[in-house]
């Protein structure tokens, strides 16, 4: 599906060419219209743009995050130069006054603190729970699809009922909570609506998926939950894109062939040793054709970047040394020859242990903002606005750009096929994917 104009535009943006780019009449690039909620520094939005969508509005309440997007737009960064940034609470937006015509996609990452291991874990009792606001935006906009992302903590057994309630609320956005109605009572009404054959309200098929970003080529072990929804008239089944990378494939290049070390000229003393039995098992997997592409490591992600210095560099944006890194129990940094640990924003500042580089000799230092941006697959020309702490908070809250591109590209391809061949799509039939 990629045409030369798709490739040249994405190349100019400093990103990979997406398989979802579509050529319109006369070869012009066509994008599907979207709305971006809880945009943060723009990770999900950048990925959606690369995946085939263009936002009519980008909503974010945090001034620093808005300034990051504005600064890049002012610098004429291709993917965000035309973004309409609304610095506002999603709940206060009057969609009818700013949106004209149908919207194809609503995308966003509601705040994770209500469900995070490092947060208060209060779910519905946390005023930062914005899933109700996302459902309300979907109710008003009637998009063909939505993409919502959050922490894996949302799937914890503690939140099992609320997780199911959230999916039902997204599946039936027009079945809103009554005044004074608690979420448990609302859950019961939604369940009745979901099992009713006579339902005539706006309805979505919700596909939940828990993924590790490392399995999609992101140089970071970042476990997240995605809730992907398709309006009921988009009847064909859709499944989350399968993993493309694996730990075993990385181990094969490190312990069996040694290619990983040889390509990077890593001294023998700094190479990981294979545990007993690993080589035989990995050879068998390779012979059976079961290996994917290798996980990307911190070392691979940082290729081309020099060691950060105290002074700002005009060539390497946001690449400044942050002093004070130290190891303590449970916070030992990210080993250079594996994907990084999850970069975190922290509830009270940046948690240093997760945001440190640990070299082969055991020495430590903080990741620079640019290095962290690499681990989140932001383009090198994309500037993060604010101090180290503020920029790292934005990155810790972001969706990896490449992961967002993979998901958005798969959604865009499905919608494009459904639009082009509605009769074929309808023939596949629909199956409820909502977790019972």
Choice among 8-22, 128-142, 198-212, 337-351 with the minimum mean pLDDT: 8-22
| Residues 95/140, Cβ–Cβ less than 8 Å | yes
Tell me: pLDDT of 423 over 60. Answer: no
| CB 34, CB 54: distance < 8 Å | yes
Per-residue model confidence (pLDDT) at position 421: 73
> What pLDDT shows up at residue 111?
82
Angle, nearest 10°, between helix axes 43-51 and 401-420? Answer: 40
CATH architecture of 4-242+398-428: 3-Layer(aba) Sandwich (3.40)
- Position with higher pLDDT, 234 vs 144: 144
Region 87-103 average pLDDT:
93
How does residue 424 score in pLDDT terms, banded at 50, 70 and 90?
low
Least confident range from 182-196, 242-256, 421-435: namely: 421-435
Across 407-423, average pLDDT: 87
Numbered ranges of CATH 3.40.50.150 in the chain: 4-242+398-428
**pLDDT at position 418:** 85
**Is the pLDDT higher at 287 or at 115?**
287
3-state secondary structure the chain: CCCHHHHHHHHHCCCCCCCCCEECHHHCEECEEEEEECCCCCHHHHHHHHHCEEEEEEEECCHHHHHHHHHHHHCCCCCCCCCCEEECCHHHCCHHHHCCCCCCEEEECCCCCCCCCCCCCCHHHCCCCCHHHHHHHHHHHCCCEEEEEEEHHHHCHHHHHHHHHHHHHHHCCCCCCCCCCCHHHHHHHHHHHHCCCCCCCCCEEEEEEEEEHHHHCCCECCEEEEEEEEECCCCCCCCCCCCCEEHHHHHHHHHHCCHHHHHHCCCHHHCCCCCCCHHHHHHHHHHCCCCCEECCCHHHHCCCCCCCECCCCCCCCCCECCCCCCCECCECCEECCCCECCCCCCCCCCCHHHHEEECCCCCEEECCHHHHHHHCCCCCCCCCCCCHHHHHHHHHHCCCHHHHHHHHHHHHHHHHHHHHCHHHHHHHCCCCCCCC
**Sheet with 356-358, edge to edge strand ranges:** 334-335, 356-358, 364-366
Residue 7, pLDDT above cutoff 50? no
Q: Is the dihedral of CA 336, 341, 342, 345 positive or negative?
A: negative
Q: Mean pLDDT over residues 12-38, rounded? A: 60
> Who wins on pLDDT, 269 or 347?
269
pLDDT (0 to 100) of residue 44: 98
* The pLDDT of residue 100 is above 90: no
User: Which residues sit opposite 206 in a β-bridge?
Assistant: 229
Q: The whole model's pTM is what?
A: 0.88
pLDDT band at 109 (very low <50, low <70, confident <90, very high): very high
pLDDT at site 217: 98
Angle between helices 183-194 and 160-171 (to 10 degrees): 50
Instruction: Check: CB of residue 307 under 8 Å from CB of residue 294.
Output: no
**Residue 346: band (very low, low, confident or very high) from pLDDT cuts 50, 70, 90:** low
Q: What pLDDT, in 10s, does the model give residues 118-155?
A: 444 444 555 568 899 999 999 999 999 999 999 898 88
pLDDT value of position 351: 55
Average pLDDT of the residues in 242-249: 98
Residue 3 has pLDDT above 80, yes or no: no
Question: pLDDT digits over 260-302, tens only?
Answer: 999 999 999 999 999 999 999 999 999 999 999 999 999 999 9
- Over residues 397-420, the mean pLDDT reads 94
pLDDT per residue over 32-81, tens digit each? 999 999 999 999 999 999 999 999 999 999 999 999 999 999 999 999 99
pLDDT of residue 329: 82
Q: Is the pLDDT of residue 429 over 90?
A: no
Mean pLDDT of all residues in 306-312: 93
Which pLDDT score, from 0 to 100, does residue 113 have? 53
Q: Which residue has the higher pLDDT, 343 or 314?
A: 343
| Cα–Cα dist 329/120, whole Å | 22
Among the ranges given (53-62, 192-201, 392-401), the one the predictor scored with the smallest mean pLDDT: 192-201
């Amino acid at each position: 599906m990629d045409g030369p104009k798709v490739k040249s535009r994405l190349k100019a943006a400093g990103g990979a060419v997406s398989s979802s780019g579509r050529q319109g009449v006369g070869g012009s690039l066509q994008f599907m219209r979207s709305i971006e909620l809880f945009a943060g520094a723009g990770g999900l939005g950048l990925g959606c743009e690369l995946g085939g969508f263009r936002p009519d509005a980008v909503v974010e309440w945090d001034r620093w995050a808005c300034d990051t997007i504005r600064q890049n737009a002012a610098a004429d960064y291709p993917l965000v130069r035309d973004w309409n940034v609304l610095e506002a609470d999603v709940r206060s937006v009057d969609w009818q006054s700013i949106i004209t015509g149908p919207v194809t996609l609503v995308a966003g990452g509601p705040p994770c603190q209500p469900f995070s291991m490092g947060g208060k874990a209060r779910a519905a009792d946390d005023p930062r729970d914005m899933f109700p606001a996302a459902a309300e935006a979907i109710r008003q906009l009637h998009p063909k699809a939505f993409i919502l992302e959050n922490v894996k903590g949302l799937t914890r057994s503690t939140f099992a009922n609320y997780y199911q309630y959230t999916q039902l609320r997204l599946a039936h956005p027009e079945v809103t909570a009554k005044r004074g109605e608690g979420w448990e009572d609302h859950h019961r009404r939604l369940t009745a609506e979901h099992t009713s054959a006579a339902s005539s309200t706006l309805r979505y098929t919700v596909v939940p998926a828990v993924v590790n970003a490392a399995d999609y080529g992101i140089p970071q072990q970042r476990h997240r939950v995605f809730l992907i929804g398709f309006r009921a008239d988009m009847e064909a089944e859709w499944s989350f894109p399968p993993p493309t990378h694996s730990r075993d494939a990385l181990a094969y290049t490190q312990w069996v062939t040694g290619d990983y070390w040889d390509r990077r000229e890593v001294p023998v003393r700094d190479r990981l040793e294979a545990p007993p039995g690993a080589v035989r098992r990995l050879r068998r997997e390779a012979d059976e054709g079961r290996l994917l592409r290798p996980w990307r490591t911190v070392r691979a992600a940082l290729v081309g970047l020099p060691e950060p210095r105290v002074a700002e560099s005009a060539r390497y944006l946001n690449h400044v040394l942050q002093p004070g890194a130290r190891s303590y129990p449970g916070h030992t940094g990210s080993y250079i020859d594996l994907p990084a640990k999850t970069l975190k924003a922290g509830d009270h500042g940046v948690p240093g242990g997760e945001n440190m580089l640990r070299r082969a000799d055991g020495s430590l230092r903080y990741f620079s903002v640019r290095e962290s941006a690499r681990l989140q697959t932001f383009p090198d020309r994309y500037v993060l606005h604010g101090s180290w702490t503020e920029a790292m908070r934005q990155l810790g809250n972001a969706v990896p750009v490449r992961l967002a591109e993979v998901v958005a590209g798969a959604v865009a391809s499905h919608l494009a096929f459904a639009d082009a061949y509605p009769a074929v799509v309808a023939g596949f039939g629909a199956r409820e994917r909502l977790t019972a």
